[in-house]
Amino acid sequence: MPTTQSRINDFVLKIATVNGTGSASSNGLLMKALFRMGIPVTGKNLFPSNIQGLPTWYEIRASHAGYMSASGRVDVMVAMNVQTYQKDLKEVSPGGFLIYDSTWPRESTLNRADITVLGVPLAKLCNEAFSVARIRILMKNVAYVGALAALMDIDLGMIKQLLEETFAAKPKVVASNLRAIMLGYDYARENFSCPLPARAQAMGDNSGNIMITGNEATGLGCLYAGATVGAWYPITPSTGVMDSFTKYCEKFRIDPETGDKRFCIIQAEDELAAAGMVVGANWVGARGFTPTSGPGISLMSEFIGFAYYAEIPSVFIDVQRVGPSTGMPTRTQQCDVMMCAYASHGDTRHPLLFPANPRECFEMAVTAFDLAERLQTPVFILSDLDIGMNDWMIPELTWDDNYRHDRGKVLGSEELAKIERFVRYLDVDGDGITYRTLPGEDPKGAYFARGSGHNRYGGYTEDSGEYQDVMDRLLVKWETAKTMVPNALLSNAERPTNLGIVAFGSSDGAVTEARDRLAEQGIHMDYLRIRAFPFTREVVEFLRSHDTNFVVEQNRDAQMKSLLMLEANHIADRMVSILHYNGMPIPNECVVRGVTAHLKKEEAA
């Protein structure tokens, strides 16, 4: 057996199966059991864009240090798919373990001297124990849970408890699953030295933490934000946002006495129609939103431009995936930054929010609606598939009961009665934000919301001076927006340094871990995480105060770096791109390699 370093609560378990064979439930059992053992854990699902039959992988990372990014290594691989066996074998890190179904013989060429291969006859065990063909297939994926519980010292009692909770109303299902788990568990205990060096050890109970996806948290955030209208067209990977919002609306937005629903959810015929519904809902005073992905934003651009120019609040949630075109719908990227920043034809600029985890998805959903109404403009939340669809461990979500929605500058009947004349697009306060009214509130507040040329009074115009007057005021509003969006977060190195690193969104975890690894090598870096566009003052100050700024992002064309050059007037030669765009979540090793390679190049120059 190859020499293997002990990796207690510091390992990556990857499971390769066939989509549609029930492995999701088994993988969830393993991850939740580790979580309840008090171990910081995260789960990443790599699945095909068809319904059934293609390869799928689930990666569980346990990290006693609390790192949540992709690690770039695999300590234990469960290879349940013959089609991907060779690939899965190559992916195991030296000194790691590969577990496979030994019911059928394995080619002698599919071996590696630097890893340990363990065969468990899962199909044979299940065929002997269960009589129904479909049940045998499903139970085979449950049996590997038992084998891993023995091999990796995962609390068997915790797994049993989770099963009983999940299928409380189906005792027969619990019994059959437990039987399959014990088949794998007993075989591993009887035939191998348990536990392996890569194993779990209880750390507590993870009280104060929860497991949740970004889409689930976003949908809940929209509910707390006071959203009552959701219009959408289904698209991967954003569908879960509306599923979540629907679930919570049905729980909290139905009148207990009358049964009346106090929400409206519409599945539109396409993304363009969904955008129009959302803009219309916000215009009449509701809080409405649409969840989508890159292709949907492309189709919605016309209405986005209309909402910008007519100054109608609206919220667009972009759970980014790999593009261009259809791209790879079930892979992740940060590739819609430039498109969303300037969506639509003509001169437009839109506030963007960049959550780094599900907790910020929840919080920024609320922020987005407040910003949209305060600024009277479309606001984008740019999540991505990694955040949206994967399982993250975060602190329990909290809520301030004293919070009240900020509707911005809205005039009601009482306010209108005090003024001589209502003028929709007149900047009274000098901040670029005008006063608005809601339809039906008072005849005195009536105006025509138009996407064609208009002047400060809301009247149609083709006069160049009047048109430019409105466009210049929108720039003043953009400057005001810089004081309203969330500030960037600064993390200084332990010692003074002229090296800076900038990231946003789901790249945060990889950068955080990479900084720790680089510090161990004597490379110290200040870190700025951008949370919003337009860029706040501290972003410009950070870039100017460092000789070299590494900009980490998950796209090919360095979109954030380009945006910084355009909007922050920063010198290009001070910024160095670290790019990752193959569709997989960015590993910390990518950041470490990018930094060290550049520093070596500079040293040699």
pLDDT in tens, 23-34: 888 999 999 999
The residue among 225, 199, 434 whose CA lies nearest residue 311 is 434
Boundary-marking domain end, from 172, 206, 240? 206
Boundary-marking domain end, from 176, 206, 236? 206
Does residue 481 belong to any structural domain of this protein? no
CA angle 561, 565, 569 (to 5 degrees): 145
Considering the domain architecture, whether residues 441 and 519 belong to the same structural domain is answered as no
CATH of the domain at 248: 3.40.50.970
pLDDT over 90 (residue 605): no
The residue among 198, 156, 182, 157 whose CA lies nearest residue 62 is 198
CA 332 to centroid of chain Cα atoms:
9
**CA distance linking residue 517 with residue 532, whole number of Å:** 27
DSSP 211-263: EE-HHHHHHHHHHHTT--EEEE---TTTHHHHHHHHHHHHHHSB-TTT--B--
pLDDT in tens, 213-259: 999 999 999 999 999 999 999 999 999 999 999 999 999 999 999 99
Considering the domain architecture, whether residues 509 and 563 belong to the same structural domain is answered as yes
Q: Which structural domain, as residue segments, surrounds residue 566?
A: 489-604
The mean pLDDT value of the chain amounts to 95
Does residue 407 belong to any structural domain of this protein? no
Write out the two tokens for 141: 């994926």
Does residue 408 belong to any structural domain of this protein? no
Is the pLDDT higher at 571 or at 485? 485
Does residue 109 belong to any structural domain of this protein? yes
Considering the domain architecture, whether residues 141 and 166 belong to the same structural domain is answered as yes
Considering the domain architecture, whether residues 182 and 216 belong to the same structural domain is answered as no
**CA distance linking residue 459 with residue 425, whole number of Å:** 10
Give the pLDDT confidence score for residue 233 in this predicted structure.
Answer: 97
Considering the domain architecture, whether residues 305 and 287 belong to the same structural domain is answered as yes
What is the chain's length? 605
Considering the domain architecture, whether residues 518 and 435 belong to the same structural domain is answered as no
Does residue 477 belong to any structural domain of this protein? no
Does residue 180 belong to any structural domain of this protein? yes
Domains identified in the chain, total number:
4
The arithmetic mean of pLDDT across residues 588-600, rounded, is 97
Is residue 432 a contact partner of residue 478, using CB atoms and an 8 Å limit? Answer: yes
Is residue 502 a contact partner of residue 462, using CB atoms and an 8 Å limit? Answer: no
Longest dimension (CA), the chain: 89
Boundary-marking domain end, from 189, 206, 223? 206
pLDDT over 70 (residue 568): yes
Considering the domain architecture, whether residues 158 and 49 belong to the same structural domain is answered as yes
Considering the domain architecture, whether residues 389 and 465 belong to the same structural domain is answered as no
Give the pLDDT confidence score for residue 172 in this predicted structure.
Answer: 86
